[in-house]
Amino acid sequence: MPELPEVEVIRRELEPLLIEKTFAAPVLHMPSTIAYPSAEEFVSDLAGQTVKSIARRGKYLLINLARGVLAVHLRMTGNLLYTEAAEAKGPKEDRYRRVSLPFSDGSALHFSDMRRFGRLWLVGNDHELQSIVLRRIGPDILNDLCCEDFLQLLDKREQSRLKALLLDQGFTAGMGNIYTDECLFRCKIHPLRQAKTLSRDEKENLYATIRDVLAEGIAYGGTTFRDYRNSSGARGDFQSMLSVYGRKDERCSCGTPIEKATVAGRGTYYCPRCQK
DNA sequence: GCTTACCTGTCG
DNA sequence: CGACAGGTAAGC
């Protein structure tokens, strides 16, 4: 489900709501959702902790606590719903609820996930965050990388095809299947092209376009193709702006039907005439 | 690299 | 009924 823009939308919504709130005892409807530490330690270590800020690295939401960090990855169908006191739905109304995180004031954060791929981690400090959660995660494409850095990273991966490279969270963190296809379309780059074939102008344009598309995605509240919801349960609107993703056989603005192929193991949409 | 696995649901 | 879904880790 969520790529960088969707996680960033949730981050921006939640930070003002949660800051200085104190967690009560978590309720684990599905304990295997907790990736680290043990379910028992997660419950006892989170209770009583205060939220200081909320950050993001790639697709990871990072809730900074007075002591440690609560990290969340939504994977394909996870969502984080915020509820004020009393209106909290029980598992009866949401059969996919996996974890409930109540606060001492009666409000709560609920982690729901149909496909059960999403995970939560609770680590004690930034060193643990890096070594346990973010070990294979590269720099955030929006926050941690200037154009020159991006060009240097590209030069280290010249054999890689662009689609696979942008999806690789160890290269840069945040791009997913939808936004990658949209960026390559806008840049007129074929998904199978190797990084070494890009001119300097194309590389700079790719960097700028990635940032533009992600910023637009955030401004539109994310993309709801099927399952994505923000922390209020609302859909995003960027799907109406997609040029190629999900549009197989529809006509590109050049008149050519959009094609779909499998690249890097993922469904990939592109215009065979515009993208070379 | 590619394939498979993890899950549940939807679409054709 | 099979194919596929916004993600990623693990195994060749």
Same domain, A86 and A48: yes
A93 and A161 inside one domain: no
With respect to residue A275, please indicate whether it lies within any of the assigned structural domains.
Answer: no
Q: In what order do the strands lie in the sheet with A60-65?
A: A34-36, A119-123, A68-73, A60-65, A51-57
Ordered strands of the A108-113 beta sheet? A27-28, A97-102, A108-113, A78-83
Distances from the Cα of A171 to the Cα of A106, A168, A262, angstroms: 41, 5, 21
Residue A138 lies in a domain: no
Domain identity same for A125 and A161: no
Are A46 and A68 part of one and the same domain?
A: yes
The verdict on A54 and A104 lying in the same domain is: yes
Helices (H), A111-199: 126-128, 147-156, 162-167, 177-187
Query: For residues A147, A150, A155 and A160, what is the CA-based torsion angle, rounded to 10 degrees?
Result: -130
Are residues A129 and A9 both part of a single domain? yes
Q: In CATH, what number is assigned to the domain containing residue A126?
A: 3.20.190.10
State how far Cα A15 lies from the chain centre.
Answer: 16
In a domain, A211, yes or no: yes
Question: Which nucleotides of chain C does any protein CB come within 7 A of?
Answer: 4-9
- Residue A86 pLDDT exceeds 90: no
Is the per-residue pLDDT at A17 higher than 80?
Answer: yes
Identify the pLDDT of residue A121. 98
Q: What is the CA radius of gyration of chain A?
A: 20
| Residue-level pLDDT at A1 | 72
> What's the domain count of chain A?
2
Other C-beta atoms within 10 Å of A233: how many? 12
Q: Is residue A140 situated within a structural domain?
A: no
Q: Give me the residues near strand B, CB below 7 A.
A: A 32, 76, 95, 114-117, 159-161, 164, 264-265
The reply to whether A76 falls in a domain is yes
Residue nearest to nucleotide B5 (CA to C1'): A117
Containing structural domain, residue A120? 4-133
**Does residue A142 belong to any structural domain of this protein?**
no
For residues A107-121, average pLDDT: 98
Is the model's pLDDT at A91 over the cut of 90? no
Q: What angle do CA A1, A99, A228 make, to 5 degrees?
A: 20
Cα separation, A98 vs A121, whole angstroms:
14
Q: State the pLDDT at residue A88.
A: 53
Are A19 and A125 part of one and the same domain?
yes
Model confidence at A90: pLDDT above 60: no
CA of A138 to C1' of C5 (A): 25
Note the pLDDT tens digit of each residue in A19-32: 999 999 999 999 99
Q: Are residues A21 and A111 in the same domain?
A: yes
In this prediction the pTM is 0.97
Q: Could you say which of A76, A111, A133 is where a domain stops?
A: A133
A54 phi and psi, to 5 degrees?
-130, 125
Average pLDDT over residues A187-200: 98
Q: What is the amino acid identity at position A133?
A: V
Same domain, A101 and A159: no
| Assigned domain for A276 exists | no
At A37 the pLDDT is: 98
